[in-house]
Amino acid sequence: MAVHSSSRAANRVLLVLGLALLAALLTLDLASVAPNRILPGEGVSLWAWLGPWSASVWAFPLLVMAFAWRGSARALVLARVVVVAALALLPWVLAAFAASRVPDASSQARVTLGAGFWVLLFLLLMCWVELHARLRHGLWLVLLPLLSLGLALTQGHLESLALIREYASRSDAFHAALRYHLLLVSAAVGLSLLLAFALALAMRRFPSLRRGGFALLSLIQTIPSLALFGLLLAPLAWLAARYAWLGELGVQGIGWAPALIALVGYSLLPMTRNSVVALDGVDPRVVEAARGMGMSPAQVFWRVRLPLAAPVILEGIRITTVQAVGLAAVAALIGAGGLGTFIFQGLGQAAMDLVLLGALPILALAVAADSLLSALARLTRRQPGREAR
């Protein structure tokens, strides 16, 4: 197991995170209990819930700090075991808390996740990221907390959570919004990829287009999303009124059309820039060698230049996809639908669990897209000769 030499000394990052974990356990509320959806809840800390037994929970940050202070490879491995165990136990701690506060599943009372839970989750994830960077192996361990969460959900132990109840009452609308969100993001990324690649080829063919093209794309990037939606409202409404076939397709001043155009506009700059840089950055000696082998210009491009440029192009796609996942939520303000609908409904009703019902899937989609595309970019960077060694 590879460990950096710096990890042999005390790990200051883990020490700070362990102290923050201890402070969060001592000072913040794990959750709050409300008699119904309307009335505010009363916060409950681990100390108030468990009493003296809560001292056993403090063993997690203390163990993390102890292993971080030791700093050896074995200590860091043990620290990772502690962190993964804490992440895996977190859903069951919530289940036990909910069962103790809302014993009747048919009751209108509900448990809302408090600041303590979110801070603990964030700090534990930061610990895991730090340990993964040091140890480099064991990425599969992240599956254990996910399996634990899935088991707690499927067995119904978290039904008293307000977030789960919001989902249960809106499951059909949630699934429809999730599908629409994915479709909107996929369409925006696909169209921007085609347009950006065409622009990159044109800029390489005609270098004089670069300055003006990048200036225009940068200008679009600086326009606030709501302002861009507003600018598109009148032209699209006029086009729909003038051409009946556009109206039949659903093109109008609000809805999916301005959302798609805005997402494509915001996606063009990073994707075009990365494509141009990637294609220009191919080693000229490799291109000359390919030409010396008798390859035609088309063969040189598709078999040599494009495969070598693929990692940087994929980085542009990754940036664009993560950006589009988040921006698609704002499109709900103009009737485009998607997961942003729950966010703005929750803000209007002062229901933070409804906000989380829309925000958490967006966060999960962004992280998943970032991880998958980053892994794909790393795969394209591998050289056959390096793998064979």
182 band by pLDDT with thresholds 50, 70 and 90 = very high
189 band by pLDDT with thresholds 50, 70 and 90 = very high
Whether residue 206 sits in one domain with residue 344: yes
Q: Which of 167, 200, 230 finishes a domain?
A: 167
Whether residue 237 sits in one domain with residue 104: no
Q: Which of 167, 201, 224 finishes a domain?
A: 167
Give the pLDDT confidence score for residue 183 in this predicted structure. Answer: 92
**Given a cut of 60, is residue 122 above it in pLDDT?**
yes
Closest CA to 67 of 21, 103, 32: 21
Whether residue 293 sits in one domain with residue 161: no
Q: What is the CATH number of the domain that holds 349?
A: 1.10.3720.10
Whether residue 184 sits in one domain with residue 107: no
The β-bridge partners of 31 are: 44, 113
Mean pLDDT for the stretch of residues 359-381? 87
Give the pLDDT confidence score for residue 176 in this predicted structure. Answer: 92
Higher-scoring residue by pLDDT: 245, 196 = 196
Whether residue 266 sits in one domain with residue 191: yes
The residues, ordered by sequence, that sit 6+ positions from 233 with a Cβ below 8 Å of its Cβ are 253, 254, 258, 334
Report d(CA 338, CA 259) in Å as an integer.
11
CB atoms within 10 A of CB 79: 27
- Classify residue 211 as exposed, middle or buried by CB count within 10 Å of its CB (0-12, 13-18, 19+): exposed
Whether residue 182 sits in one domain with residue 255: yes
Q: Which of 131, 146, 167 finishes a domain?
A: 167
Q: Write the single-letter amino acid at 260.
A: L
Nearest-5° Cα angle at 118, 114 to 122: 165
Whether residue 255 sits in one domain with residue 225: yes
Report d(CA 34, CA 40) in Å as an integer.
6
**Long-range contacts for 40-47 (Cβ within 8 Å, ≥24 apart)?**
41/110, 41/111, 41/112, 43/114, 44/97, 44/101, 44/114, 45/116, 46/116
Buried residues in 122-135 as b, exposed as e (16+ CB within 10 A): ebbebbbebbbebb
Report d(CA 137, CA 262) in Å as an integer.
40
Whether residue 230 sits in one domain with residue 104: no
Residues spanned by the domain of 243: 171-388
Whether residue 182 sits in one domain with residue 146: no
Whether residue 261 sits in one domain with residue 128: no
Counted residue by residue, the chain has a size of 389
Q: What percent of the chain has a predicted confidence (pLDDT) above 70?
A: 91
The structure tokens 């994929």 sit at 314
